[in-house]
Amino acid sequence: MSKKIVIVPTFAESHLIKCQIPNIIDTINPDYIVYQEGLFPNGTEGNKQYTTEWLDKYTTDGKRGFDWEELRKIVYDAQNEYPSTEIILNPIDYQQGMTSTDCYVKACLNLEDLGIKFEEGDYIFPFEGDVFHHEKDTKEITGYLDQIQPGQGFRSMWVDWVQNFWYVEMMRIKPFLKDTRHHHENNWMSRRICIRYDKGGHFYKQVLDNFMTTDYHNPNGGYGMLYPTDLITYHYAWIRPHKFRELRCDQLGRADGYWDNFINGANLADEYKYSDITVRPHIAEGTTSRYIKFFDKLEHPKHMKNHELWTDLDQETIEKLDVGDLL
């Protein structure tokens, strides 16, 4: 019988993983969840050089996240709560000079040292530590699994949340905007969700090699090689409390002043006074990537309501911020 295997390369994301494990159980019900915890040697995007001070601040030993012991406890407790799924936390080491894609591929490609052998027909979910799906979509996900054959897979539409559970990257919700200029084919972020393992794993490896692509719909060199779906992936990229948010900024190389502008804008989201907020003022006005936007059109997975940053809003505030420019 084909196995369902979720693989999550991660670094210092315990606050999300605590919510992610029950979300994966409820939406996928896999045989295995494997957390591959380790620092990519050149940053998340491959453009970062670490100093001794950086490593002292964010790691326990130069490789494991500062929250390593908390993550160990989370996985231990989850394994006791969900005995039908084997949940593995593996400290993985990457070598200097490896690109971000190299690291992601290494984490997702071979699990035989952990006692897991990929076999033709297995369903592999190469995830990240900040992706979730709504529990109401469980049947939809199962339906997609039933349709794909070895050497095939499917993708979803990713929506990025910023700062809290009410603001998103405007560039990720173009299909929801009333402005018809944004309503053209493939005008959204679409990334991998599941690949059915093929004999020899050649197709699976080809998909993994696209880890850093922004050519989301290209059928040859992007995620267009996977079947498109209506599934929404909740990407909580910037739901990061305190030191975890500092880390995310410090992992990504940007020009001087970039993070000051981004964080100042993101902080305004917690005031719940503005429908649109500029976080990238160097980008031209009217361009969607300049803004984050109030967005209440998708109900969040129930598991995220246990996150420390979860906030409920009253209807009056919601109506004030929903200015009618969304479908």
Q: What local confidence, expressed as pLDDT, does residue 69 receive? A: 98
The verdict on residue 156 lying in a domain is yes
Q: Look up residue 325 and give its two tokens.
A: 């420019």
Q: Look up residue 64 and give its two tokens.
A: 């494991």
Strands (E) across 152-261 are located at: 153-162, 167-169, 190-196, 232-238
Q: What local confidence, expressed as pLDDT, does residue 324 receive? A: 83
| Number of domains into which the chain is organized | 1
Spans of the chain below 70 pLDDT: none
Q: What local confidence, expressed as pLDDT, does residue 260 receive? A: 96
Q: What local confidence, expressed as pLDDT, does residue 45 receive? A: 83
Q: For residue 125, what are the domain limits?
A: 4-237
Question: Which residue type is seen at 132?
Answer: F
Q: What is the pTM of this model?
A: 0.96
Q: Which residues contact 279 (CB under 8 A, 6 or more apart)?
A: 162, 261, 262, 265, 266, 290, 291, 292
Evaluate whether 10 touches 108 at the Cβ level (below 8 Å): no
The verdict on residue 219 lying in a domain is yes
Q: What DSSP string runs through 294-315? A: E--SSPPPGGGGGSTT-----H
Q: What local confidence, expressed as pLDDT, does residue 216 receive? A: 79
Q: What local confidence, expressed as pLDDT, does residue 220 receive? A: 77
The verdict on residue 111 lying in a domain is yes
Q: What DSSP string runs through 245-272? A: HHHHHHHS---TTHHHHHHHHHHHHTT-
CATH number at residue 164: 3.90.550
The verdict on residue 62 lying in a domain is yes
The verdict on residue 227 lying in a domain is yes
